[in-house]
């Protein structure tokens, strides 16, 4: 398994979380890794840790909304005390203009428009989600 695939397995692993993995520690525990392992895998894939975490958080919201056939409402799924932080995350995720209460975006649509990662990391993430 290459560095991108190892990184992608950590991000894709966030989809199954019952709650928002808002910290590195929560994310690491959920995927059965240490925080230092998560950092090392992000570094090896040349992707920032917090960008990876936020990508996974939004990916989880999109996937859950699609699978559970719920209306789009990221604020209800993401733990964020500050609406400005949530808005910044949605902008970077390409989701800022997606209307609340509408049908959710597809995972493919989200991955095409997100601004967290590109190229090999993104291709590896797509493969990890399919598997």
Q: pLDDT per residue over 70-103, tens digit each?
A: 999 999 999 977 899 999 999 999 999 999 999 9
DSSP letter (8 states) at residue 113:
H
- Please state the φ and ψ torsions of residue 95, each to the nearest 5 degrees: -115, 5
Q: Where are the alpha helices (DSSP H) in the chain?
A: 3-12, 24-31, 35-44, 49-67, 74-77, 83-92, 107-113, 119-130
For the chain, 131 residues long, give each residue's pLDDT as a single digit of tens. 799 999 999 999 999 999 999 999 999 999 999 999 999 999 999 999 999 999 999 999 999 999 999 999 999 999 977 899 999 999 999 999 999 999 999 999 999 999 999 889 999 999 999 88
Domain boundaries of the chain, sorted by first residue:
3-130
- What's the Cα-to-Cα distance from 93 to each of 1, 25, 29, 62, 67, rounded to whole Å? 27, 22, 24, 11, 19
């Amino acid at each position: 398994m290459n560095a991108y695939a190892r990184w992608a397995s950590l991000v894709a692993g966030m989809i199954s979380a019952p709650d928002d993995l808002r910290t590195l520690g929560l994310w690491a525990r959920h995927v059965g890794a240490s925080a230092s392992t998560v950092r090392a895998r992000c570094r090896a894939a040349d992707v920032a840790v917090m960008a990876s975490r936020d990508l996974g958080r939004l990916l989880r919201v999109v996937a859950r909304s699609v699978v559970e056939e719920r209306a789009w409402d990221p604020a209800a799924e993401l733990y964020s005390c500050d609406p400005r932080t949530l808005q910044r995350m949605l902008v970077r995720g390409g989701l800022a203009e997606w209307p609340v209460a509408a049908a959710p975006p597809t995972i493919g649509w989200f991955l095409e428009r997100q601004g967290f990662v590109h190229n090999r990391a993104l291709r590896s993430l797509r493969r990890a989600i399919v598997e």
